[in-house]
């Protein structure tokens, strides 16, 4: 490993570490992380392929509330280093790296539960003393341990990932284990698919999942083509829903919009420039997330420009800042909706504002909006984009990670910008409007997601059963018939389908996804050892 490679690994791992804390630009997702490490090591193609495979495995790994998933970022980094510097096969590298996701998870919990909590309290004490600058300082200081949390393990693995050393170690490992890990890497992806099915859990729409599966099994359609088919089905579903809703609303009277002229009554003090300051700050929203009060420092950091404008005296400003250092948590992209509504309320009331009322408004909005944002953004939008782009990347096509990065950030910016601006205009009434519109659009997105996931099960899950059932003599030659051939005669890809439903059932029974993955790796090793499974 050269000095340049070491510096690039440290830089890219640091960026991805900060990304795993903020979950903003999605640089922590395997598709992007592995590609960056591949660039650092001069083997982009390997990085892209590993990123695609780990992305599919980790498709359903997401942070919801205080539930922290295994760290797919660290696994991606380690897998690429083992493959490029350690000269291991992709399957073996991934098989070794995936269990290290638990180590990354523990490091994340340690950082967010101790270091970041301490930094948050440092900012809070500063506010008590009137040192409001510490809010911004503390918010960004937390990026340092986030960067080191990923960079230090990456550097350690890179330093000791010498091909000769690794090969000498692996020479003592039975071939059945290394080959078995390669076998299991072909079907570990079903854990990610099953996690998405469990998160959405709309059983009445399972037909769309089966439709995607059957189309990919019995046709030559590409994953991109299947995605467009899914979009078409989603639009048809949405159109039918609108027709039904329109028919049911014919006898209803129109509601009056009492806040229609609100902007003529309120003296405007917050302008577009102020809102844009909040918007740009929200690009680094969740960096300072911690286990004690979650997004309190993040939220306060974003509100600072508005608070400084609305509260002129030092005492009023100090009091307002302290209010926003209370507990808060919501889906990070959707949090801009609450920021917008919060700004509208504080602007309208100004000196008469009841600070306890502000806290109640934030709490009242956070729960319902998190219930909307988590399943839609983490459970539908990101997995669909990631799945399609990972499918493009499995052959080493660098267009996949680029497309993923661009698409997910376009979606993110649209949600953040419009969420802030519309919520500011509508105030707290935004929640009622969202409650009416979101379920319908969510159902349409579920149609798309189920269709794509069904296609992924058929397209990218590899289970080969070369075990010979019987041999027949035909003339002077012998013909062997394998289990795989018999299963394909019944229905191609039946094993991937059955395995996906099995993992889904286990997840429903509260079995940990990590236990499912370890179980599949053991199954791969045992299956290869006794000759049932093949590469």
pLDDT value of residue 249: 59
Place of tokens 């948050």: 120
Tens-place pLDDT, residues 65-119? 667 888 999 999 999 999 999 888 888 899 889 888 888 989 999 999 999 999 9
Q: How confident is the model at residue 468 (pLDDT cuts 50, 70, 90)?
A: confident
| Angle, vertex CA 88, rays to CA 12 and CA 182, nearest 5 | 110
Q: 82 and 157 in contact (C-beta within 8 Å)?
A: yes
Higher-confidence residue of 47 and 200: namely 47
Q: What percent of the chain has pLDDT over 90?
A: 44
Alpha-carbon gap, residue 96 to 82, rounded angstroms = 9
Query: Is the pLDDT assigned to residue 423 strictly greater than 80?
Result: yes
Look over the chain and give the mean of its residue pLDDT values, rounded to a whole number: 86
Question: Across residues 29-44, what is the average pLDDT?
Answer: 96
Which of 14 and 167 is assigned the larger pLDDT? Answer: 14
- Which residues are bridge partners to 482 per DSSP? 468
Answer for the pair 56, 192: CB distance below 8 angstroms, yes or no: yes
Instruction: Return the pLDDT at 259.
Output: 39
Q: How far does Cα 299 stand from its chain's mean position? A: 21
Task: Count the alpha carbons within 13 Å of 434 in the hemisphere toward its beta carbon.
Answer: 23
pLDDT, mean of residues 291-318:
89
What local confidence, expressed as pLDDT, does residue 256 receive?
Answer: 38
- Which region among 8-12, 126-130, 362-366, 456-460 has the lowest average model confidence (pLDDT)? 362-366
Secondary element (H or E) of residue 215: helix 206-218
pLDDT of residue 257: 39
* pLDDT at 367 > cutoff 90: no
Q: Which pair of structure tokens corresponds to residue 506?
A: 């286990």
Q: Are 29 and 404 in contact, with CB atoms under 8 Å apart?
A: yes
Which DSSP helix (H) or strand (E) runs through 174? Answer: none
pLDDT of amino acid 426 = 82
- Position 265 scores a pLDDT of 41
pLDDT digits (tens, 9 = 90+) for 52-66: 999 999 888 887 766
Q: How confident is the model at residue 489 (pLDDT cuts 50, 70, 90)?
A: confident
- What is residue 364's predicted lDDT score, i.e. its pLDDT? 76
Alpha carbon separation from 397 to 45, 49, 84, 506 (Å, rounded): 7, 8, 17, 34
The DSSP result for 250-305, as a single string, is TTSPPPP-TTTTHHHHS-----HHHHHHHHHHGGGTTTT-BTTTBTHHHHHHHHHH
Q: Does 208 score more than 80 pLDDT?
A: yes
Average pLDDT on 350-366 reads: 70
Strand stretches in 111-228, DSSP E: none
The predicted structure's pLDDT at residue 376: 87
Give the model's pLDDT for residue 135.
94
Confidence (pLDDT) at 342:
87
**Rounded Cα–Cα distance for residues 190 and 193 (Å):** 5
Instruction: Please answer whether residues 435 and 368 qualify as being in contact, where contact means their C-beta atoms are separated by less than 8 angstroms.
Output: yes
Delimit the domains of the chain by residue range. Answer: 3-186
Distances from the Cα of 388 to the Cα of 19, 199, 457, 506, angstroms:
21, 19, 12, 26
Read off the pLDDT band of 410 (50, 70, 90).
very high
Give the confidence band of 283 by pLDDT, cuts at 50, 70, 90. very high
Residues above pLDDT 70, as percent of the chain = 90
**What average pLDDT does this structure show over 333-347?**
88
Query: What is the model's pLDDT at position 436?
Result: 65
Q: Which residues of 101-121 are buried (b: 16+ CB within 10 A; e: fewer)?
A: beebbebbeebbeebbbebbb
Q: Is the pLDDT of residue 196 over 50?
A: yes
Average pLDDT over residues 483-491: 85
pLDDT reading at 277 higher than 60 = yes
Q: What is the pLDDT of residues 215-271, one digit of tens each?
A: 999 988 888 888 899 899 988 988 887 777 676 655 444 333 333 444 444 454 888
| Helix runs in 294-398, H state only | 296-310, 314-323, 335-349, 355-373, 382-393
Residue 350's pLDDT band (cuts 50, 70, 90): low
């Amino acid at each position: 490993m050269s000095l340049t490679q070491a510096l690039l690994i440290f830089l890219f791992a640091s960026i991805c570490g900060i990304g795993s804390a903020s979950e903003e630009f999605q640089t922590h997702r395997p598709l992007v992380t592995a590609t960056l490490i591949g660039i650092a090591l001069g083997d982009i193609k390997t990085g892209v392929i590993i990123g695609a495979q780990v992305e599919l495995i980790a498709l359903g790994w997401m942070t919801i509330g205080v539930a922290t998933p295994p760290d797919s970022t660290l696994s991606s980094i380690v897998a690429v280093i083992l493959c490029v510097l350690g000269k291991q096969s992709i399957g073996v590298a991934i098989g070794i790296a995936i269990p290290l996701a638990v180590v990354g998870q523990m490091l994340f919990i340690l950082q967010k539960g101790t270091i970041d909590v301490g930094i948050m309290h440092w900012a809070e004490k500063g506010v008590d003393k009137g040192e409001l600058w510490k809010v911004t300082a503390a918010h960004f200081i937390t990026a340092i341990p986030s960067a080191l949390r990923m960079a230090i393990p990456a550097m350690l693995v890179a330093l000791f990932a010498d091909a000769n050393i690794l090969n000498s170690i692996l020479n003592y490992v039975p071939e059945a284990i290394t080959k078995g890990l390669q076998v299991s890497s072909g079907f570990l992806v079903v854990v990610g698919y099953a996690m998405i099915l469990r998160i959405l859990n709309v059983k009445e729409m399972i037909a769309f999942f089966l439709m995607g599966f059957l189309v990919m099994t019995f046709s030559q359609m590409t994953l991109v083509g299947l995605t467009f088919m899914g979009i078409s089905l989603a639009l048809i579903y949405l159109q039918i829903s609108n027709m039904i809703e329109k028919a049911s609303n014919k006898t209803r009277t129109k509601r009056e919009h009492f806040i229609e002229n609100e902007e003529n009554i309120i003296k405007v003090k917050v302008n577009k420039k102020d809102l844009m300051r909040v918007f740009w700050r929200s690009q680094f929203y969740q960096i300072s997330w911690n286990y004690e009060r979650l997004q309190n420092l993040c939220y306060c950091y974003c509100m600072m420009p508005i608070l400084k404008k609305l509260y002129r005296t030092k005492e009023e400003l100090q009091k307002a800042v302290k209010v926003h250092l209370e507990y808060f948590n919501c889906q990070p992209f959707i949090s801009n909706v609450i920021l917008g509504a919060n700004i509208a309320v504080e602007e309208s009331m100004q000196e008469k504002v009841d600070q306890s009322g502000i806290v109640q408004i934030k709490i009242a909005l956070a729960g319902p909006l998190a219930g909307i944002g988590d399943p839609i953004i983490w459970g539908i939008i990101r997995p669909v984009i990631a799945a399609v782009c990972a499918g493009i990347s499995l052959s080493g096509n660098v267009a996949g990670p680029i497309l993923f990065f661009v698409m997910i950030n376009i979606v993110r910016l649209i949600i953040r910008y419009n969420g802030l601006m519309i919520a500011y205009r509508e105030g707290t009434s935004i929640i009622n409007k969202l409650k009416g519109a979101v379920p319908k659009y969510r159902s349409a997105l579920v149609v798309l997601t189920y269709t794509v996931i069904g296609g992924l099960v058929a397209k990218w899950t590899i289970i080969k059963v070369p075990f010979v059932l019987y041999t027949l003599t035909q003339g002077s030659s012998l013909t062997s018939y394998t289990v795989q051939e018999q299963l394909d005669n019944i229905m191609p890809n039946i094993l991937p389908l059955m395995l996906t439903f099995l993992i889904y059932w286990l997840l429903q029974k509260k079995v940990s996804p990590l236990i499912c993955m370890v179980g599949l790796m053991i199954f791969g090793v045992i299956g290869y050892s006794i000759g049932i499974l093949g590469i």
